[in-house]
Structure 1
């Protein structure tokens, strides 16, 4: 459940962006992500996670740029930047050898499994699937940006399908690995 909650700032951004505006959506995403990070800093037993830190940096930087530079981005261009930022966070987490799913998985797995090669590999695979979902979202954003005749629902369908697939895979894959280990 923690991994799903980590995406709340992106949901808040999308809703505010849709109903109010891009700059306001970026500010809302920055505020919500900062609040979540602060919660982790002050709550005993919780620690900030790579995804949450990256989300604060992403939304704060984009919000400041939007406020200071007043760019005239179409909505899809703002979403492209957010989705590219999210993809970057995920890829960086893998590059620094801390796949973002690892911190969430450790919250529900006994400590003695944390250094297991199977546990670590499983998290790299799950993180790679999330990266693939974000690549799909970036491609959908690019298509909508550069092929304006495409209906907006193409991007919406691609985004929903990619995210649902990543969530389902995240739920299914560890269970599949456990089932193989016990058979």
Structure 2
């Protein structure tokens, strides 16, 4: 079981993110509301932006979990490559989030 702990962690995050989308409350809303004025919280573009961001995180968590599970099955759960995959599994959606939010804000500012 220990060999699969990283895959299970990523998989759990994928399930949480997927459920948050299914119930219409993207998990990123809880994070972004800390820095966003309350009047924006109910706006459709604000919610849609968070749906897209959460979907990207969901895909990253899912892909990371699958790759790590295959690596664990192959006996490589504790390799440097497995650690790198975990880092990339968080870094890629993080970079996407920063860039996507900047793009959305720039478009909103242009209007």
Band of TM-score, shorter chain: 0.7 to 0.9
CA root-mean-square deviation? 1.8
TM-score by length of structure 1 reads 0.55
* Number of matched pairs: 110
The equivalent residue for 1:110 is 37
Kindly indicate whether the alpha-carbon contact (under 8 Å) linking 2:68 and 2:85 is maintained by their aligned counterparts in 1: no
User: In structure 2, do the counterparts of structure 1 residues 149 and 85 end up closer, same or farther at CA, with 3 Å as the change threshold?
Assistant: closer
Question: Any idea what the Cα deviations from partners look like across 1:125-152, whole Å, max 9, x if unmatched?
Answer: 1111111221122122122122226882
Distance in 2 between residues matched to 1:99 and 1:126, nearest whole Å:
8
Q: Which has the higher contact order (CA 8 A, sep 6+)?
A: 2
Alignment of 1:64-103 (within 5 A): 73=1, 75-103=2-30
Q: Which runs of 5+ in 2 are unaligned?
A: none
The equivalent residue for 2:80 is 153
100, 104, 107: which is aligned to 1:177?
104
User: In structure 2, do the counterparts of structure 1 residues 146 and 128 end up closer, same or farther at CA, with 3 Å as the change threshold?
Assistant: same
Which structure has the bigger radius of gyration?
1
TM-score by length of structure 2 reads 0.87
60, 76, 79: which is aligned to 1:133?
60
